[in-house]
Structure 1
Amino acid sequence: MAGTYSFDIVSDFDRQELVNAIDQAKREIGSRYDLKDTNTEIELEANSITVKTDSEFTLEAVLGVLQTKAVKRQLSLKIFDYGKVESASGNRVIQEITLKKGIDKDLAKKISKLIRDSFKKVQASIQGDAVRVSAKSKDELQQVIQLLKSEDFPVALQFTNYR
């Protein structure tokens, strides 16, 4: 009797890696000649990052450093949702970066429809902010993973609980 195999599709990131990336970015900003005297602050909150700096030009450089450090720590840039650049007192600018986590209902429906249309013997069910995919064959599950990796979704997808 053959059992069924399954895995979960989630959108998540390693928070400790994000903390490390921000820490490295702060150190580089503090030591770089062009950014040293900009009084740049990067604050990590529960669901967002706030960047405060001297000008929009400096903000672009700071975001470049932050993105480089995130990529080096295997964090997808799709977890960052950049807010509007706002003016603050004394010619300074602030930008809020929301951290995207979880798969929303519309995207989960789109993913499960794509799986159902492409593979007849594979089931996809939405469970909260994740999608559970199950099939009788491990090979079909591997094909589903390859299909989803080839698509360009607005969030970073990970495949967990493969059993």
Structure 2
Amino acid sequence: MPSFDIVSEIDMNEVRHAAENSKRELATRFDFRGVDASVEFKDEKVKLTAEGEYQIKQLSDILRSQCTKRNLDAKAMNASGKIDITGKTHTLWVDFKQGLEQDLSKKIVKMIKEDKFKVQASIQGDKVRITGKKRDDLQQVMQMLRQADLAQPLQFNNFRD
């Protein structure tokens, strides 16, 4: 029976490269001349530091554009939303979503059941396994999920015939 897995994974090496490219772009930006600002990759998170909240938002936009250039989905970025202020330094930690959370997995299974595809969907930890009798049914499920507006990027792997 054909099957595949729905997962959400981010390549952390690409995230590190995007952070390093953001740091290089920061050095060349005119609006950051003479401003104490930095971008660091630490413990699978990116630390954005600047003197003001507006500059933090600009750094976040720079990181988002670098991620897009490296084929990372911007939906995977999870900015904590809370900017830590210590003295004149503002800090924002940006992490990246890995794996499917339980509620998103349930939403995917519900979407598949509502569209009445002839497949079986089962939640297995941080992934969802889809099995069906026909390969075409599985491809229809993939197409439906690509068009759906979910809060996280999805990848389809482990396709078996």
**Partner residue in 2 for 1:87:** 85
**Partner residue in 1 for 2:27:** 30
Matched, 1:103 2:77: no
Cα RMSD over matched residues? 1.3
Structure 1 residues 35-74: aligned runs within 5 Å: 35-74=32-71
The structural deviation recorded for 1:51 is 0.9
Structure 2's unaligned 5+ residue stretches are none
Q: Deviation per CA, 1:29-54, whole angstroms, max 9, x where unpaired? A: 01212113222222223342221111
TM-score when scaled to structure 1? Answer: 0.91
SS of the residue corresponding to residue 105 of structure 2 reads helix
Q: Deviation per CA, 1:36-89, whole angstroms, max 9, x where unpaired? A: 322222222334222111111211221111111100111111111112112122
Give the one of 126, 137, 154 matched to 2:151. 154
SS of the residue corresponding to residue 102 of structure 1 reads coil
Give the one of 2, 8, 12 matched to 1:11. 8
SS of the residue corresponding to residue 34 of structure 1 reads helix
The structural deviation recorded for 1:112 is 1.1
The structural deviation recorded for 1:15 is 1.2
Structure 1's unaligned 5+ residue stretches are none
Q: Judging changes above 3 Å, is the alpha-carbon distance between structure 1 residues 120 and 70 closer, same or farther for their aligned structure 2 residues? A: closer
Q: Does structure 1 retain, via aligned residues, the 8 Å contact 2:46–2:94? A: yes
State the one-letter code of the partner of 1:155: Q
The structural deviation recorded for 1:120 is 4.2
State which drifts further: 41-50 or 147-156: 41-50
TM superposition outliers: structure 1 runs of 4+ over 3 Å: none
TM-score when scaled to structure 2? Answer: 0.92
Whole-angstrom CA distance in 1 between matches of 2:138 and 2:29: 47
SS of the residue corresponding to residue 74 of structure 1 reads coil
